Structure 1
Amino acid sequence: MRRLSTITVALLASVLLVTGCSPRPDYVPLPEPLPLNFAGQPLPSGSHIEPANKVAPEPASDREILGSLRPDDATPQERVPRIVRRDRLVVGVDQSQYLLSFRDPVTGELTGFEVELAREIAHDMLGTGAKVDFRFVDSSDRAKSLQEGRVDLVIRTMTVTPPRQDVVDFSTPYLSSNMRMLVPRGSNIVDISTIGKGTICVADGSTAVDMARVQAPDSYLLITNRWADCLMAVQQFQADAVLADDTILSGMAAQDPSTDIVSLPLANQFYAVGVKKGNEGLVRQVNSTMERIRKDGTWIEMYNKWFGDYLSAAGPPLLHYREEEEALPDDQHP
């Protein structure tokens, strides 16, 4: 009897193993309208469905993006004395954005392009062995976390836009990206015009939200707290596509080879480090690191390490500084 039981258990285990490794079924378009818990799976925590044409997109700004502040000849002690005294840099990041900023499942440590950038900034500011306190912030909470002083910097795929420059100061860009789409392999979606009345997943607070409202007015929007939730939504057939920057989509494609990045770029965007409004010394300090990693080859090493298998780049984004009036000596003021 015991032998029969053992054989039965072994057979069941083999069936489960074969079932778990079976290939993904052919892509099936989502029904219309999208139920709130399609296929019995609840939507990602904190997400919501926005019906087509329910929310008008924000009017496009006709203002030009203002350049950042050039590094000066001051020392970190002069630029950011409070952070130097604290001997620790506090940085707001993501923890689930593969390749950019994510927690390594083996070591449990945060890693990725943006995490390495934060460490380079801390090294120039605080020296060898600099301490970095990483704190998780949602896309929609990035500006507020700076305004409330919860973090010194935000390095979390924060695109520079004129409205954001009204509330946050930015470094010169550290990455450029193109907004595209990720779809399940085998779907008939080749660009945003072919989604029709399907469902597009975007992260709350991202520039992709308004882009989807403009470019796909007949589509539902699944708006999530995190980009990682969008990948899960596509895998669970709760969304037909993810609309995001190709830097974000490359991480999703690396995690799930049964997906493809499609469509021509809908927009070219630039990520920069966010700083609390008015903290000019910290902006100049960050930009001194931006210039250093361009000159010594660190930037291209980081880019190739994280994105070389998925994207190509001729080099880092161009430095973008504003024109500043030179300060006059005290004895020359009118």
Structure 2
Amino acid sequence: MTKPEFAGVKAGVKVSPRAAAVKGAAVLAVVAGTLAGCSVTPVQPGIGDQSEPPALQDLPLPAGAVVDAPGQTPDAEVEAYDWPGSLRPDRESPEKRVPDIYKRGRIIVGVDQSQYLLSFRDNATGELKGFEVDLAREIARDIFRFPDRVDFRFVDSSKRTEALVSGQVDIVIRTMSITKERAAEVDFSVPYLDSSVRMLVPTSSHLDGAQDLSDERICVATGSNTVNIARENFPQHELLRTRTWTDCLMALQQYQAGLLVGDETILAGFAAQDPLTTVAGEPFATQHYAVGIPKGYDGLTRQVNSTLNRVRTDGTWDAMFKRWLGPHIAPRTAPQPIYREENND
């Protein structure tokens, strides 16, 4: 899959007053993908060290990054979407619900490979791990009786809908929240995880919430609906849009942005990787992650919802949450299913 090209890349780099105040602190210039599964020893400034921070102003922005000037309005609704719900599981067998997938012998799942805790590649083993990876394997278990019958494909955040519409993947499990715009092009399972939208900030910045911001540049990932959430909540701030969330983390570490605005589940993974950052502020919105499914493939929707119903009731969901997310975010239970009304005539 070719990567999208962006116009209007801004060469200059703005360093906020709060970031510049973090003098003497060495930069963790490490891409988050290489951090996944690894421990990081933070480099703290030496006592009495009055040296200036590294000169990062001349470093280029991450490839494909775009800086939006303040005042750009959201290009889609940011209000909560009154979603009618998904299809209720039926009593059919997987062989009848998804005959093409069953005959193929594996399910093709679009995922990320760098979102620590959710879907990331373990540097030690090369294996994909995380909450969303485990969920994909549970779906495969219910279709084939074997959880390893999964063909994982990396899908860029901005290409999730396209991957489903074009048939590159059977389903997408990649922090894909339910929005009105996406629901017009693809179908969704019932939600499998809820996440609030918050801020990731350098611990040394002492930013505790939106009320503490001055002129910090905010970073978000292109293709995420948090772009519009950030535009709605921070109209006076520059927005740095990067191709991936890991590029956002790198921009934060290099003082090219003062904070990230994103889903708490994603930010918690970054904070676990980089001890010099922390998740802060009150939630701006709530995201409902669901499995993306090609439009009109009702049998697959019912099959996925059947798995989600099982893992919610047999303790599997709780075990997955405890293993991956429990140590890093507030406790929660599996989202309650939302099913649409159906005409059974």
Task: Give the TM-score band, short-chain normalised.
Answer: 0.7 to 0.9
Offset of residue 299 of structure 1: 0.2
Q: Determine the structure 2 residue equivalent to 1:322.
A: 340
Comparing 57-66 with 302-311, which one deviates more in the overlay?
57-66
Q: Structure 2 residue aligned with 1:305, among 294, 308, 323?
A: 323
1:3-62 CA distance string (max 9 Å, x none): xxxxxxxxxxxxxxxxx9741599xxx9xxxxxx95332211222111112454424457
Q: Structure 1 residue aligned with 2:156, among 119, 131, 138?
A: 138
Hey, what's the Cα distance between the residues in 2 that align with 1:63 and 1:227? 24
Larger Rg: 1
Structure 1 pair 116–39 and aligned structure 2 pair: CA distance change class (3 A): same
Q: Structure 2 residue aligned with 1:277, among 290, 295, 301?
A: 295
Hey, what's the Cα distance between the residues in 2 that align with 1:86 and 1:203? 34
Q: Determine the structure 1 residue equivalent to 2:141.
A: 123
Comparing 232-241 with 126-135, which one deviates more in the overlay?
126-135
Q: Structure 1 residue aligned with 2:278, among 260, 276, 286?
A: 260
Structure 1 pair 187–129 and aligned structure 2 pair: CA distance change class (3 A): closer
Hey, what's the Cα distance between the residues in 1 that align with 2:65 and 2:192? 29
Structure 1 pair 208–44 and aligned structure 2 pair: CA distance change class (3 A): same
Structure 1 pair 139–239 and aligned structure 2 pair: CA distance change class (3 A): same
Hey, what's the Cα distance between the residues in 2 that align with 1:84 and 1:212? 42
Hey, what's the Cα distance between the residues in 2 that align with 1:62 and 1:211? 11
Q: Structure 2 residue aligned with 1:43, among 34, 39, 61?
A: 61
Comparing 57-66 with 253-262, which one deviates more in the overlay?
57-66
Q: Are 2:257 and 1:246 equivalent residues in the alignment?
A: no
Hey, what's the Cα distance between the residues in 1 that align with 2:284 and 2:236? 17
Hey, what's the Cα distance between the residues in 1 that align with 2:186 and 2:254? 36
Paired letter, 1:120: E
Q: Determine the structure 2 residue equivalent to 1:217.
A: 235
Hey, what's the Cα distance between the residues in 2 that align with 1:129 and 1:308? 23
Comparing 294-303 with 226-235, which one deviates more in the overlay?
226-235
Q: Determine the structure 1 residue equivalent to 2:244.
A: 226
Q: Determine the structure 1 residue equivalent to 2:208.
A: 190
Which SS does the other structure have where 2:341 is aligned?
coil
Q: Determine the structure 1 residue equivalent to 2:10.
A: none
Structure 1 pair 38–21 and aligned structure 2 pair: CA distance change class (3 A): closer
1:122-163 CA distance string (max 9 Å, x none): 110112254211111111100000000000000000011122
CA contact (8 A) 2:207 2:213 kept: yes
Which SS does the other structure have where 1:301 is aligned?
helix
1:210-254 CA distance string (max 9 Å, x none): 011111111111111111111111111111001011111110000
Hey, what's the Cα distance between the residues in 1 that align with 2:93 and 2:45? 56
Q: Determine the structure 2 residue equivalent to 1:23.
A: 44
Where in structure 1 are there 5+ consecutive unaligned residues? 1-19, 31-36, 328-334
Q: What's the TM-score once normalised by structure 2's chain length?
A: 0.82
Paired letter, 1:280: D
CA contact (8 A) 1:87 1:130 kept: no
CA contact (8 A) 1:176 1:271 kept: yes
Which SS does the other structure have where 2:300 is aligned?
helix
Offset of residue 197 of structure 1: 2.5
Which SS does the other structure have where 2:140 is aligned?
helix
Moved over 3 A (4+): 54-57, 59-63
Q: Are 2:306 and 1:288 equivalent residues in the alignment?
A: yes
Hey, what's the Cα distance between the residues in 2 that align with 1:195 and 1:61? 23
Q: Determine the structure 1 residue equivalent to 2:178.
A: 160
Aligned residues: 299
Where in structure 2 are there 5+ consecutive unaligned residues? 1-40
Hey, what's the Cα distance between the residues in 2 that align with 1:97 and 1:47? 19
Structure 1 pair 183–129 and aligned structure 2 pair: CA distance change class (3 A): closer
Q: What's the TM-score once normalised by structure 1's chain length?
A: 0.85
CA contact (8 A) 1:68 1:171 kept: yes
Offset of residue 117 of structure 1: 0.3
**Identity, % of aligned positions:** 49
State the superposition RMSD in angstroms: 2.0
Paired letter, 1:230: C
Paired letter, 1:253: A
Structure 1 pair 56–155 and aligned structure 2 pair: CA distance change class (3 A): closer
1:137-193 CA distance string (max 9 Å, x none): 111100000000000000000011122111110000000001000000121422234
Offset of residue 196 of structure 1: 3.4
Hey, what's the Cα distance between the residues in 1 that align with 2:148 and 2:253? 39
